[in-house]
Amino acid sequence: MIDFYGVFAILLASALGRLKYEPLLTLAFFSVYLCIVLNLFQTWQYSHNYISPDNMNYEKYCHVFLRSADEYRDCLGGCTEEPFYMSDLSRPLAAFRDGKRLAGITGRDAGCRMREAGCRMVVLS
């Protein structure tokens, strides 16, 4: 899709250049301006952890849409979806609870035991 942005820009410029009706031309330029401002604001939200790079869905997006207060930073929580298909949760690299590394959790059922204990996993894939 990104490969075609240049083509879309040329087509948009051509279409705006052919507009003769002044109010419609003003409306078109204002719409393009609003899209650019929205893009810049959401880029800022993304770089300051208001928008999650991995776990966004419609509800989460609506919750942080056009919000910039500190209470919305990192408010979306963790991943509620299944892990990537390459992750092997039966052999985790390490387990952590309350910021401390847990020892002795290894073996085939380690993933289940860690989830039951409420641990965060670091997985090699």
- CA end-to-end span of the chain: 29
Q: Are 64 and 76 in contact (CB under 8 A)?
A: yes
Q: What is the pLDDT of residue 79?
A: 54
CA 75 → CA 7, 22, 29, 34, 64, distances in Å? 38, 44, 35, 26, 9
Sheet holding 120-123, edge to edge: 100-102, 92-97, 120-123
The per-residue pLDDT for range 87-113, each reduced to its tens digit, is 555 665 566 666 666 665 544 444 444
Give me the chain's average pLDDT, please. Answer: 75
Specify the pLDDT at position 125.
36
The whole-number pLDDT of residue 37 equals: 96
Query: How is residue 78 written in tokens?
Result: 């963790």
pLDDT in the model for residue 36: 94
